A and B are shown apart, each in its own frame.
Chain A
């Protein structure tokens, strides 16, 4: 792999990470119409993606279970909710499910802005998963209005995708106008330079690298890419045999940045290439004082004595080769101890330790913990995409494992709640049920009576029946009069009899009241019926409330057994799988770390062999020089004698 290609791949990864962080900051402009959707956003904005997806899954399941989902408050956000699930799944590294969810949104009936945001995310998934053609197809579907916060990122991603598909001219056209745009400053310029170089425009590409190498910014990421541009430019020129300008660009790289060691190494080699070994010693000696675990530092431990040798100072060179040998031996011991520590499981135990979790400088903290491997040797590997992804997966599995045991405890608590409710309600309910049935039949009877009265009153409006509105006293009196009349008739009294005339008068008096007061009585009867209705309504409310309470009491303990049993089985099964995955993922991480250390071990051994040979050679030369001097001195002595 050429240096330029390697640097390019690193730049693309760095840029991708920068891009995804920016993309995470998306907020909804519209008014919120569903509080639970807002809750999912609240979780997601805090990067609690599991909680956010779980909430949205729950809400979406309820939404699709409704007969009339258009009446649900989630209806107003359904497109956004579907898209967000895919988005959050992506952040939760569930790429397979996320791409399906996002594809569904793209194919659905959504606005341009939503569709394009989804298309952007899908293209990004494919790009990240190293599927350049799929990424190209996805990004080419992004047309029309693009969300404002993705304006430059979309163009930048599009250019990156064009580059990995070999469409350098298209990438150049896209990158040129956004070179200094907010959020992609430095990165766009650097990628523009790489695109120019890849498309064969060597001179323009180098000029562009030079331009990026002079960017002024206070942003650490931009300063990093500025250093990278100078480093790539320097090494490119060094490869082309232009050591002098190469040194100038390499000297531009900051002495404290992540590329400083490589730049010091390169600067020295550029001076050496010009035959100026004294000038090469300046950056190399500076580099030699840095952390011994760094590859460049280890390499330059041979470079410094090599330069002294070239300057003819073989004695000093021999001493320095000796020191290098000693350092390599010590480092080999440290590497061996680190491999042992990893194999004993201390690396993973430290990585998942609680004390490191909240600390973003966990890598540095890890170094300070007792019995952990020397992480200086693992820095590059720890920062690599594959290791980071595997480590995140490992963390996620550990988190899921904790969730599983919490859920099992929760289910056990639910079972207890259900048992307590069942023990309380079951003996009470039959008696309540009995009383309820009695009350229920009484209530039904009264309601029937009320309905009969209502019907009669309505009929009386059409065909008046005053006798039906007689008072109880009037009815009793009329009944008594009728009995007396019958009695008198049986005794054979004639209608002209004064007693019969009195009966007739009394009857007439009562009927007078009944007939003359009919209208007033009918109005009163309606009023009373309305009053009765109020009571009936109240009764109905109490009835319904009772029915609900009775239902709630039953539902509070009935019908859960199956669900809980199935959930317990599912959780147990998932727990077994998670435990297996934790072991496998952990083994893989350890294996990656051990492999890295084995390689470093191999390199140290190679340096050791080279140092031994060089030491011997330096001694020989120093001895030879000493002998030559002695001979010269003897010759001078002889001449004088």
Chain B
């Protein structure tokens, strides 16, 4: 009999312990949380619409299609020699450099493409030079590669593809 009462006491005490945190949330009602969450979702939608509009405006204003140049970096999946840093020169001028974070390498590794530079250039022939520092088993390895491309009247996109066998370029 005493044992049974003791067990009930245990359960009551334990139940009190586990339910108190739920009660705390219940004081702030679920409806309040839900209502506010709906409003937050609504404002996110509005802000995203503004962001898309601003993106288009920015592109039109700062990078008109006839002079636009966008440079992208992609990487072979599961590369053993991921980049540590990258420097880009266009017609001998430094235009961009980037030091890669772990998150960025991971994103490149599973198929993400980084837009590393957007700018304006004249139509005609241009020389793109890439200086890349790779991580390798025996230490870091740096090398430079060049790429000639012709800028026409349409927006020009150049993809720099990094792989274990080297750097390749693709004009889009």
A residues engaging B (CB < 8 A)? 1-3, 6, 25, 27-28, 32, 35-36, 38-39, 41-47, 50, 53-55, 57-58, 61-62, 73, 92-97, 235, 238-239, 241, 243, 262, 265-266, 269, 272-275, 295-296, 299, 380-381, 384, 386-387, 389-390, 393, 396-397, 400, 403-404, 407, 410, 414, 417-418, 545, 548, 552, 555-556, 560, 563-564, 567, 570-571, 574, 577-578, 581, 584-585, 588, 591-592, 595-596, 598-600, 603
In the complex, the answer to whether B55 meets A555 with C-beta atoms within 8 Å is no
Residues of B within 8 A of A53 (CB): 48
Bound-state CA distance A97–B60 (Å) is 28
A-B contact list, 30 entries, CB within 8 Å? A1-B15, A1-B18, A6-B18, A28-B111, A38-B113, A45-B110, A46-B103, A46-B104, A47-B103, A57-B49, A58-B52, A97-B41, A235-B14, A262-B17, A266-B14, A273-B10, A275-B2, A386-B33, A390-B33, A393-B36, A410-B58, A545-B123, A548-B153, A552-B67, A555-B64, A556-B64, A560-B57, A570-B50, A577-B39, A578-B47
Q: How far is the CB of A592 from chain B (nearest CB, A)?
A: 5
In the complex, the answer to whether A94 meets B19 with C-beta atoms within 8 Å is no
Residues of A within 8 A of B52 (CB): 54, 57-58, 61
Q: Does B24 contact A (CB under 8 A)?
A: yes
B92-108, CB under 8 A of A: which get 1 and which 0?
00000000000110111
Residues of B within 8 A of A381 (CB): 21, 24-25
Partner of A3, one of B14, B41, B60: B14
Q: Does B125 contact A (CB under 8 A)?
A: no
Known contacts: A32-B74, A42-B108. The answer to whether A407 contacts B50 by CB under 8 A is yes
Partner of B24, one of A545, A571, A599: A599
Bound-state CA distance A95–B30 (Å) is 16
Residues of A within 8 A of B40 (CB): 93, 393, 396-397, 581, 585
In the complex, the answer to whether A96 meets B38 with C-beta atoms within 8 Å is yes
- Other than the known A414-B58, A548-B153, what 7 A-B pairs have Cβ atoms closer than 8 Å? A38-B74, A61-B52, A61-B56, A380-B21, A552-B67, A570-B50, A581-B36
Q: Does B4 contact A (CB under 8 A)?
A: yes
In the complex, the answer to whether B27 meets A591 with C-beta atoms within 8 Å is yes
In the complex, the answer to whether B72 meets A38 with C-beta atoms within 8 Å is yes
Q: Does B144 contact A (CB under 8 A)?
A: no
In the complex, the answer to whether A563 meets B36 with C-beta atoms within 8 Å is no
In the complex, the answer to whether A384 meets B21 with C-beta atoms within 8 Å is yes
Q: How far is the CB of A478 from chain B (nearest CB, A)?
A: 50
Known contacts: A94-B41, A555-B64. The answer to whether A45 contacts B17 by CB under 8 A is no
In the complex, the answer to whether B43 meets A588 with C-beta atoms within 8 Å is no
- Residue ID in chain A nearest B67 by CB atoms: A552
In the complex, the answer to whether B36 meets A574 with C-beta atoms within 8 Å is no
In the complex, the answer to whether B64 meets A27 with C-beta atoms within 8 Å is no
Bound-state CA distance A583–B37 (Å) is 13
Residues of B within 8 A of A243 (CB): 3, 7
- Residue ID in chain B nearest A573 by CB atoms: B46
Interface centre among B43, B45, B56 (most CB of A within 10 A): B43
In the complex, the answer to whether A58 meets B36 with C-beta atoms within 8 Å is no
B residues engaging A (CB < 8 A)? 2-4, 6-7, 10-11, 13-25, 27-28, 30, 32-33, 36-41, 43-58, 60-62, 64, 66-67, 70, 72, 74, 77, 103-104, 106-108, 110-115, 123, 153, 157, 159, 172
Known contacts: A3-B15, A42-B108. The answer to whether A58 contacts B56 by CB under 8 A is yes
In the complex, the answer to whether B107 meets A46 with C-beta atoms within 8 Å is yes
Q: How far is the CB of A131 from chain B (nearest CB, A)?
A: 12
Residues of B within 8 A of A275 (CB): 2-3
Known contacts: A28-B111, A571-B50, A603-B20. The answer to whether A592 contacts B28 by CB under 8 A is yes
- Minimum-distance CB pairs A-B, first 8: A38-B113, A42-B112, A45-B107, A27-B110, A596-B24, A595-B27, A57-B52, A269-B10
In the complex, the answer to whether B50 meets A574 with C-beta atoms within 8 Å is yes
Known contacts: A599-B23, A603-B16. The answer to whether A400 contacts B33 by CB under 8 A is no
Bound-state CA distance A400–B55 (Å) is 16
In the complex, the answer to whether A596 meets B21 with C-beta atoms within 8 Å is yes
In the complex, the answer to whether A239 meets B11 with C-beta atoms within 8 Å is yes
Q: How far is the CB of B61 from chain A (nearest CB, A)?
A: 6
Bound-state CA distance A124–B113 (Å) is 28
Residues of B within 8 A of A6 (CB): 18-19
Q: How far is the CB of A147 from chain B (nearest CB, A)?
A: 14
In the complex, the answer to whether A585 meets B36 with C-beta atoms within 8 Å is yes
Bound-state CA distance A265–B77 (Å) is 51
Partner of A591, one of B7, B10, B28, B115: B28
Residues of A within 8 A of B61 (CB): 414, 417-418, 556, 560
In the complex, the answer to whether B10 meets A389 with C-beta atoms within 8 Å is no
Bound-state CA distance A399–B151 (Å) is 38
Known contacts: A3-B14, A400-B44. The answer to whether A595 contacts B55 by CB under 8 A is no
In the complex, the answer to whether A241 meets B46 with C-beta atoms within 8 Å is no
Bound-state CA distance A380–B24 (Å) is 10
Q: How far is the CB of A609 from chain B (nearest CB, A)?
A: 14
In the complex, the answer to whether A588 meets B33 with C-beta atoms within 8 Å is yes
Q: How far is the CB of B59 from chain A (nearest CB, A)?
A: 8
Known contacts: A269-B10, A299-B13. The answer to whether A1 contacts B39 by CB under 8 A is no
Q: How far is the CB of B36 from chain A (nearest CB, A)?
A: 6
- Residue ID in chain B nearest A47 by CB atoms: B103
In the complex, the answer to whether A296 meets B111 with C-beta atoms within 8 Å is no
Q: How far is the CB of B75 from chain A (nearest CB, A)?
A: 10
Residues of A within 8 A of B55 (CB): 54-55, 58
Q: How far is the CB of B35 from chain A (nearest CB, A)?
A: 9
Residues of A within 8 A of B14 (CB): 3, 235, 262, 265-266, 269
Bound-state CA distance A367–B113 (Å) is 39
In the complex, the answer to whether B36 meets A62 with C-beta atoms within 8 Å is no
